[in-house]
C-alpha cells in the first residue's frame, strides 16, 4: 500500500485511471489482507484456545472471539468483526462501480496495521503460554 499512498484517498476517477501495475498492487493487497485474516480466524485463533486449554465448546466463531477477548489474546472481538467485514467486501468484485471500489479501498487502507497488530498481540500472548 505504500507504493500507492500518494493516490489516497481514492476516487472513482483515480480508480479508472490506474495502470496495470497499480491495479495489480491493489489486487495483491486485497488478496493478502483476506488470506491473513482467514488464516488467523481459521487456524491461529483455534490453536490459541487449544494452547491455553480453554475448556468448553465454542461452536460459533463469535464465541471463540469473545473467549479470546476475555483471556486477553485479542483486544476486541468487535474490531475483529470489522476486519472480517472488510475481508468480505474484498470477496466481491465491483468492476462496473469504481466509486464503490474506491470507497472499499479507502476504508481498507487504514486496516492492515490493525490486522498486523492483532497478529503481533496473539503471537506475544502465545509465547507467554509456550514459556510456561
In a domain, 41, yes or no: yes
Please report whether residue 2 resides in a domain.
no
Cα of 66 vs its chain's centroid, Å: 17
Question: Number of structural domains, the chain?
Answer: 1
Question: Could you give the CA distance from residue 51 to residue 132 in angstroms, rounded to a whole number?
Answer: 11
Contact 9, 106 (CB under 8 A): yes
- Domain for residue 108, yes or no? yes
Range of the domain at 56: 8-130
Q: Return the C-alpha cell found at 41.
A: 480466524
Using the 8-state DSSP alphabet, how is residue 41 labeled? I
Instruction: Indicate whether 1 belongs to any domain.
Output: no
Which pLDDT score is estimated for 3? 87
Mean pLDDT for the chain overall: 91
Q: Is residue 73 part of a domain?
A: yes
Identify whether 46 is part of a domain: yes
Q: Would residue 27 count as lying in a domain? A: yes
For residue 56, is it left (φ>0), alpha (ψ between -120 and 50) or beta?
A: left
Lowest-confidence region among 6-20, 56-70, 104-118: 56-70
Q: Does residue 24 fall inside a structural domain?
A: yes
Task: Give 40-82 pLDDT, tens digit per residue.
Answer: 999 999 999 999 987 777 788 999 999 999 999 999 999 999 9
Cα gap 37→87, rounded to integer Å: 7
Amino acid at each position: 500500500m505504500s507504493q500507492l499512498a500518494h493516490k489516497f484517498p481514492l476516487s472513482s476517477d483515480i480508480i479508472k485511471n490506474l495502470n496495470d501495475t497499480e491495479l495489480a498492487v491493489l489486487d495483491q493487497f486485497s488478496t493478502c489482507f483476506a488470506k491473513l485474516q482467514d488464516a488467523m480466524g481459521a487456524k491461529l485463533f483455534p490453536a490459541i484456545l487449544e494452547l491455553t486449554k480453554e475448556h468448553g465448546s465454542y461452536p460459533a466463531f463469535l464465541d471463540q472471539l469473545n473467549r479470546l477477548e476475555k483471556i486477553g489474546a485479542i483486544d476486541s472481538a468487535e474490531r475483529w468483526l470489522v476486519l472480517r467485514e472488510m475481508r468480505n467486501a474484498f470477496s466481491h468484485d465491483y468492476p462496473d462501480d469504481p466509486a464503490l471500489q474506491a470507497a472499499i479501498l479507502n476504508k481498507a487502507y487504514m486496516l492492515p496495521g490493525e490486522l498486523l497488530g492483532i497478529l503481533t498481540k496473539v503471537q506475544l500472548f502465545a509465547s507467554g503460554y509456550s514459556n510456561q
